[in-house]
Amino acid sequence: MAPVGFVGLGTMGSRMAKRLLASGRAVVGYNRTPEKARALVEAGLVLQKSPRAVAEASDAVLSMVTDSTALRAIALGADGVIAGLRPGAVWAEMSTVSPDVTRELGRAVAERGAALIDAPVSGSAVTVDAGQLSFMVGGDPAALEKVRAHLLAIGPTITHVGALGLAVTMKIATNLGLAVQMLAFSEAVALAEKAGIARERAVEVLLKSVIASPMVKYRGPFVLGMPAEALFKVDMIQKDLGLALEMGKALGVPLPSVALTDELMNAARGLDLADYDFAVVFDVIARMSGLRPSVKTRR
């Protein structure tokens, strides 16, 4: 069996590739900064010099990069994935990117006799490590069947959403809730604290209440102490909020809570908090309320 190809070995991609290796699969990979893949190479991943070389070696290519610009960079050109795709191959693209860019690349992939599916994920690095990642998939169901076993080696849940581009659409709709929920949680903590309830106690009560979504359960405690390594930085959540606002404008759907949350994320960047997890939106509310910010360990 041909090895699985993997392009983009960052926070999420490296952990996913590690799970593929742990399942006994041969994996060939590419990362723009090859040094970052050293640990994976030691674990058995064979590093290639270009996304094209990864595609040439595989019938199934998986990718996980930052944004639409990064996706175009790995997809297009003489060294891109598309130039190397084998006829009949399937490319499962898992990044959170523009649905329009996904569809545009889908047409170019089809011209090579291969298939693109969008397979964005819900969860964080913690969820990948726990083997609990969920995939939303868009595109040809037959193409999904060709890579289903590889995706299941990474996470247990796959939901087919519809045509190509609709999974990443669903992912953008999901992620707007992350930011908006975290802002609402921050407001609740600030209100309770300013009224005289200890921050720790307010967090404890909220985490035992009905508003404690799975995300609030793991991110809520960050308002007490920010993790040294962000799960998802301010600029990354703003990428997703920006995609949501673009879609809302195009479709005629008002997203007032997203627009407001995006403004407060701007404030977080203005306060030099961009490198922290987006839970740092709490600090924006805390500062405006005359409360102390969350505790930081050194960056």
Interface with ligand NAP in residues 71-100 (CB under 6 A): 73-74, 95-96
Alpha-carbon dihedral 268, 274, 275, 278, rounded to 10 degrees = 50
The yes or no reply on residue 16 touching ligand NAP (CB under 6 A) is no
21, 45, 70, 280: which one binds ligand NAP (CB under 6 A): 70
Q: Helix, strand, or coil here: 4?
A: strand
Q: Tell me the β-bridge partners of 62.
A: 6, 92
- The angle at the Cα of 214, spanning 225 to 186, to the nearest 5 degrees, equals 45
Smallest separation, CB 106 to ligand NAP (Å): 17
Task: Give the distance between the most distant pair of CA atoms in the chain.
Answer: 65
Binding mask 95-134 for ligand NAP (x = CB under 6 A): xx------------------------x--xx---------
**What token pair was written down for 155?**
């996470």
Smallest separation, CB 13 to ligand NAP (Å): 5
Catalytic residues: 171
The yes or no reply on residue 222 touching ligand NAP (CB under 6 A) is no
How far is C-alpha 271 from the chain's CA centre?
24
Which among 10-18, 111-119, 190-198, 255-263 is the span making contact with ligand NAP, rule CB under 6 A? 10-18
**For 89, what's the count of Cα atoms within 13 Å in the CB-facing half-sphere?**
29
Integer Cα distance of 122 and 117 in angstroms: 16
Q: Say if CB 277 and CB 219 are below 8 A apart.
A: yes
The yes or no reply on residue 10 touching ligand NAP (CB under 6 A) is yes
Which among 18-26, 32-40, 253-261, 262-270 is the span making contact with ligand NAP, rule CB under 6 A? 32-40
Q: Which residues contact ligand NAP (rule: CB under 6 A)?
A: 8-13, 31-33, 36, 64-67, 69-70, 73-74, 95-96, 121, 124-125, 231-232, 236
